[in-house]
Amino acid sequence: MSLMLPRAFLGVTRSVLGRPWRDRLDIAGLGRAEMLSQQQGLPDILARLLAARGVEPAEAMRFLEPKLRDLLPDPAVLADMQPAAARLARAAMQGERVAIFGDYDVDGACSSALLAGFLSQAGARPRIHIPDRLIEGYGPNSEAIRMLAGEGATLLVTVDCGTTSEEPLAEARRLGLDVVVLDHHQAPERLPEVEALVNPNRQDDLSGLGHLCAAGVVFLALVATSRELRRQGHWAARGGEPDLLLALDLVALATVADVVPLRGLNRAFVRQGLAMMRSRARPGLAALMDVSGLDGPIQPWHLGYLLGPRINAGGRIGDAALGARLLLTDDEVEARGIAAELNRLNQERQEIERLAVLEAVSQAEHELAGASEMPVLLAGSADWHPGIVGLVAARLKERFRRPAFALALNGEGGATGSGRSVAGVDLGRAVPSPCASSTPHRSSLAPRSDAGRRRSARAPPRDRPGHSASGRLSSLAALRLRNSRQSDFRRRLEVTWAPAGRRSSVIFWS
CA–CA gap between residue 275 and residue 213 (Å, rounded): 19
In the prediction, which pLDDT does 306 show? 97
* Amino acid letter, residue 25: L
* Amino acid letter, residue 368: L
pTM: 0.82
pLDDT per residue rounded down to tens, the chain (510 residues): 444 555 666 677 888 878 787 777 888 999 999 999 999 999 999 999 999 988 999 999 999 999 999 999 999 999 999 999 999 999 999 999 999 999 999 999 999 999 999 999 999 999 999 999 888 988 999 999 999 999 999 999 999 999 999 999 999 999 999 999 999 999 999 999 999 999 999 999 999 999 999 999 999 999 999 999 999 999 999 999 999 999 999 999 999 999 999 999 999 999 999 999 999 999 999 999 999 999 889 999 999 999 999 999 999 999 999 999 999 999 999 999 999 999 999 999 999 999 999 999 999 999 899 888 888 899 999 999 999 999 999 999 999 999 999 999 887 778 888 889 888 777 766 665 444 443 333 333 333 333 332 323 333 333 333 333 323 345 555 555 555 555 566 555 555 555 443 333 222 232
* Amino acid letter, residue 108: G
Phi-psi region of 386 (alpha: psi -120 to 50; beta: other; left: phi over 0): alpha
CA–CA gap between residue 272 and residue 325 (Å, rounded): 23
CA–CA gap between residue 46 and residue 202 (Å, rounded): 36
Q: Is 6 helix (H, G, I), strand (E, B) or coil?
A: coil
- Helices 27-40 and 44-52: crossing angle in degrees, nearest 10, is 130
* Amino acid letter, residue 410: N
In the prediction, which pLDDT does 431 show? 66
Task: Spell out the residues 6+ positions from residue 87 whose beta carbon is closer than 8 angstroms to its own.
Answer: 155, 178, 180, 195, 196
| 280 C-beta neighbours (distance < 10 Å), count | 14
What is the sign of the dihedral through the CA atoms of 443, 446, 448 and 449? positive
CA dihedral 200, 201, 206, 211 (to 10 degrees): 70
Q: Is 413 helix (H, G, I), strand (E, B) or coil?
A: coil
Count of residues for the chain? Answer: 510
Q: What is the DSSP letter of 192?
A: -
Cα 439 to Cα 148, 229, 290, distances in angstroms: 26, 43, 42
Q: What is the DSSP letter of 383?
A: T
Element housing 437 (H / E): none
What is the sign of the dihedral through the CA atoms of 266, 268, 274 and 276? negative
| Contact indicator for 113, 327 with CB cutoff of 8 Å | yes
Distance of CA 489 to the CA centre of its chain: 26
CA–CA gap between residue 199 and residue 189 (Å, rounded): 13
CA–CA gap between residue 153 and residue 133 (Å, rounded): 23
In the prediction, which pLDDT does 383 show? 93
86 DSSP β-pair partners: none
As a whole number of Å, the CA-based R_g of the chain is 23
The phi, psi pair for 477, rounded to 5°, reads -160, 150
417 DSSP β-pair partners: 407, 479
Distance of CA 482 to the CA centre of its chain: 28
* Amino acid letter, residue 374: M
What is the sign of the dihedral through the CA atoms of 282, 284, 287 and 293? negative
| Contact indicator for 158, 97 with CB cutoff of 8 Å | no
| Contact indicator for 187, 202 with CB cutoff of 8 Å | yes
In the prediction, which pLDDT does 486 show? 55
